[in-house]
Amino acid sequence: GAVVSQHPSWVICKSGTSVKIECRSLDFQATTMFWYRQFPKQSLMLMATSNEGSKATYEQGVEKDKFLINHASLTLSTLTVTSAHPEDSSFYICSAGQGSGNTIYFGEGSWLTVV
């Protein structure tokens, strides 16, 4: 079964509103989680590294005030898309690693549609 779970699987929101996506590690503790975004027919682009108990590290070009990341516990990271716009519509995927560094689990992904 899944060891990293995302919720919701899909969400539709109105332009200007905020939406929160959760990423949970189910059987292990993850001090670091990663958030990716994937537009149709494109690859996964890393948005940010979520660090438990501290601020997230954002990749170049990603607005930290728009994509709020909170990693309040060792098993939960949340991504909040604030003031969403249609161009934010995308597939958002989280990942977490365990052990040696070669065991990386991906969540099921969350489809966001902003109308």
Partner 1 sequence: QKEVEQNSGPLSVPEGAIASLNCTYSDRGSQSFFWYRQYSGKSPELIMFIYSNGDKEDGRFTAQLNKASQYVSLLIRDSQPSDSATYLCAASSSGGSNYKLTFGKGTLLTVNP
- In the complex, the residues that contact partner 1 under the rule CB under 8 A are 32, 34, 36, 42-46, 49, 91, 93, 95-97, 100-102, 104, 106-109, 111
* Cα 67 to Cα 2, 12, 19, distances in angstroms: 25, 17, 10
Q: How far is the CB of 50 from partner 1 (least distance, A)?
A: 11
Q: How far is the CB of 86 from partner 1 (least distance, A)?
A: 19
Q: How far is the CB of 77 from partner 1 (least distance, A)?
A: 13
Q: How far is CA 19 from the centre of its chain?
A: 12
Amino acid sitting at position 54: S
Nearer Cβ to partner 1 (45/68): 45
Nearer Cβ to partner 1 (17/104): 104
Q: How far is the CB of 16 from partner 1 (least distance, A)?
A: 26
SS3 88: helix
Nearer Cβ to partner 1 (54/100): 100
What the block records as the tokens of 69 is: 């990341």
SS3 98: strand
Nearer Cβ to partner 1 (57/82): 57
User: Which among 45, 37, 42, 33 has a CA at the least distance from the CA of 5?
Assistant: 33
